[in-house]
A and B are shown apart, each in its own frame.
Chain A
Amino acid sequence: MKSIEELRAIKAKKIGDVVSRNEKGVPTINVHMGTCGIASGAREALTAILEEIETRQIRDIHVIQSGCPGMCVNEPLITVTMPDETPYIYMKVTPEKAKSIVVRHVINHQPITEWLLNREK
């Protein structure tokens, strides 16, 4: 180790590994993985989200799964929560939609209103 920059480079490379363990206040994508969700393609949506995160090298993000929120007809559902914002629930999320949500909502802070569950309100 010859310089502090080398140390910083290692930290930057590995930060994603520890961020999920001690960071609060980072964007969270919650994929609803009840039986209904999985049956209608939540697993594929989740895989797409992880692929997009990898492609874009996003490191400060939490991806979690949870059970069915009760709107089985609109599955797969995912909830995106940006720090200090109200959660947005997306419905009928295909892998393609999922990738767009990561890019447009999480990275560019532009929720895609036409895919939202609660867009009527």
Chain B
Amino acid sequence: MEFYRTHVLVCAGTGCTSMDSRLLRQNLYEEIIKRGLEKEVKVIETGCFGFCNLGPVMVVYPEGTFYCQVKPQDAAQIVEEHFIKGRPVERLLYQHEKDTANVVEMENIEFFKHQKRVALQNCGLIDPENIEEYIAQDGYFALAHCVKDLTPMEVIDIIKKSGLRGRGGGGFPTGTKWEFAYKSQADQKYVVCNADEGDPGAFMDRSVLEGDPHGVLEAMAIAGYAIGASKGFIYVRAEYPIAVERLKIAIRQAREYGLLGDNIFGTDFCFDIDIRLGAGAFVCGEETALLASTEGRRGEPRPRPPFPAVKGLFDKPTIINNVETFANVTKIIRNGWEWFASMGTEKSKGTKVFALAGKINNIGLIEIPMGTTLRTIIYDIGGGIPKGKKFKAAQTGGPSGGCLTETHLDIPIDYDNLIAAGSMMGSGGLIVMDEDNCMVDIARFFLEFTQEESCGKCPPCRIGTKRMLEILDRITTGKGTPEDLDNLEVLANTIKSSSLCALGQTSPNPVLSTIKHFRKEYEAHIYDKKCPAHVCQALLSYKIDPLKCKGCSLCARNCPAEAITGKIKEPFIISQDKCIKCGDCMTRCKFGAISKE
């Protein structure tokens, strides 16, 4: 082995890969070889750093220099200036605000400063395709400790005491789940990893699998040892090709090193893992549907009990944990439950990964201790709302959750506080909305998603969500009636109480929570036939202000519907019955004479 003075970590997550990071790495390799530095400078492909909207990102160690929005053609300058002369390339450094000083070190960037990375610890730090780098980061020592020094019940006890709760949405105590499966008697048991991440906007599971696949494999083996299972399955979406590829490599390497397979660490413990690809149905993230799909049957939920811990995969006791849950397990074993329990709030321990999306400056993936406020997330880490707009709401829990408003900005975020606020943790998608978002339209968007993704097994979800969507369609097109609001609430409560699985039961939540917090917006749509945020097209009309219009005819010449008429140098007029409300005229007008209302 050789000593490399400089390590260049280039993000190879899905986000940065879509922005040409592969070509950037290629160019870096070539430039490094051209200058004879290949024995001194090492380029490593890592998982996601989280700062996705500034991609492609790369970090140069040991200095910890953080470069963002690096283009493939920047490679030559970076090699020449930084790797040879030791001068960071200023124009590629991070700037907190325009015209402020560049920030050189990654650890001093606001976005990273407030984070506490536990599940994402290795993401962006190691090469996910190299098992030895994972081992160098104390990888597989937790598994060794468990199978060599601890009894299964002792392992379960540590997880229980740590207070770890399921990160996939429900928040069920992980240790308790393991104990149920441990106590179930059977000749065969299974460990299943739920990597069927389906919430719109959430991508933490993908990032963990892409950046630290061995962390999940090791934790699954620990779970297998704890409950007495010898077989594990990872159910992962086929839409995550990079994650699937890295998982396959990781499993192959772990088998080669004897970290999966028979007699692990010379003990009687045997454990192996296989991958099952999901076809992207939202319902397959529900545990009983996921099991059915893993068995090769149609992905449909079934009633519980019996719970999977008693009767799961192939009718054998099975534990199903989410990727992020597993990503925490190895760290708890390694650092002790006391360490984990010292983070977070009274009933929600540890950290949580959130995917920031929507109207927020720093779109990306963050990990924060439980109990951090929404204000810190949005304004300190997220960098606030673009264009100085006003914060309106944040949707947590995806289509199963609800929205948080300005009044919730300062509550500590944990499982119980979110439920009390009418939302839920969910898998950690956090979609930020500003004053330009119509809340009725948002509710309609999520309901359209759940309605389309309903598996159709139980009528409340299949028919109920369809009827709700029809009502919302009416409201957003100006055909709403005063009874619609009451009907929505009745339908919502029926679906909530009578659906078979959690996906159905939670599908009306976005509607209920927007009605609760933004009733006035619904009423404006129904009674005044107006969309206060100017989003719902049917309720919009574009008008030309005759005082501002110079009669240049630019709008009229470009109108696809030929709805604008007038004489040159005189105010033009939009014919409302021809207008298709595309907004093209408004963006083209150089005098700001066109407005929508």
Contact = CB atoms under 8 A, between A and B. Distances in A.
Interface of A: 1-4, 7, 10-11, 13-18, 20-22, 28, 30-35, 38, 43, 46, 50, 53-54, 58-59, 61-67
B264 interface: yes
A50 B114 CA distance: 36
Residues of B contacting A: mostly: loop
Contacts of A58: 3
Contacts of A1: 140, 257-259, 264-265
Interface stretch (B79-87, B242-250, B527-535): B79-87
Contacts of B83: 65
B86 A67 contact: yes
Given A33-B86, A38-B85, A65-B85, A50 B5 contact: yes
25 contacts: A1-B257, A1-B259, A2-B265, A3-B266, A4-B141, A4-B148, A10-B132, A10-B136, A13-B1, A14-B135, A17-B7, A17-B42, A17-B132, A20-B4, A30-B86, A33-B85, A38-B84, A43-B84, A50-B5, A62-B62, A63-B6, A65-B83, A65-B85, A66-B86, A67-B85
Interface in B1-28: 1-7, 9
B357 to A, nearest CB: 28
A64 B86 contact: yes
Interface of B: 1-7, 9, 39-40, 42, 61-63, 83-87, 125-126, 132-133, 135-138, 140-141, 144, 148, 257-259, 263-266
B144 A17 contact: no
Contacts, number: 108
Nearest to A63: B5
A50 to B, nearest CB: 6
A64 B63 contact: yes
Contacts of B5: 20, 46, 50, 62-64
B3 A16 contact: yes
Contacts of A33: 84-86
B378 to A, nearest CB: 29
A11 B136 contact: yes
Interface-centre pick from A1, A46, A62 (highest chain B CB count, 10 A): A1
A20 B125 CA distance: 10
A1 to B, nearest CB: 4
B9 A21 contact: yes
A90 B300 CA distance: 71
